[in-house]
Amino acid sequence: MSDYLKKWATITGGAKIKFLQAGFVLVVIKMGLAILPFSTFRKLFYRISKSEIKKNLNSQQISEVVWAVNTAANVIPLELVCLPRALATKYLLRKVPSLSLEIGIEINPAKAFEAHAWVERGGEIIIGDWSDSVSYQRLWVWE
């Protein structure tokens, strides 16, 4: 715990705010996924994350949000795997154009069914990347 406190003291005020926002959004999303049927959650998430205002962020700003989501997900004592992380990133970057949340399944007949969620911007994965030894087939794209 002292390592986290030391790290907290070294990050900027803006990074602290992004971290707290990411933590809050992750917990709300996790609760929504646990309580609501997915179809209801999806409609509600679409409504609250829809934005007519578009805002271009540079790669550094996007990386800061991804860092905040991943760090908060690792610190919060909940199982926050790829879907909540991707949804939180999608929500926090909702004003960024050309951002899509992708859901796919692993292409490997020797393994059991495994799904994965990630977020892309212009074809580049910004959160939810995987190793080169794994391949996923997209099933659903949420823009």
Q: What is the pLDDT along the chain (143 residues), one digit of tens a residue?
A: 567 667 778 888 888 999 999 999 999 999 999 999 999 999 999 999 988 888 888 999 999 999 999 999 999 999 999 999 999 999 999 999 889 999 998 877 777 788 899 999 988 999 999 887 788 888 888 87
**How far is it, in rounded angstroms, from Cα 57 to Cα 61?**
6
Residue found under tokens 């794209």: 141
Contacts of 4 (CB under 8 A, 6+ apart): 75
Question: Could you give the C-alpha distances from 123 to 45, 69, 70, 118, in angstroms and in order?
Answer: 23, 20, 20, 11
Q: Which helix (H) or strand (E) holds 137?
A: strand 136-142
Tabulate helix, strand, coil % of the chain (nearest 5): 50, 20, 30
- Give the residue extent of every domain in the chain: 2-142
Q: What are phi and psi of 112, to 5 degrees?
A: -70, 165
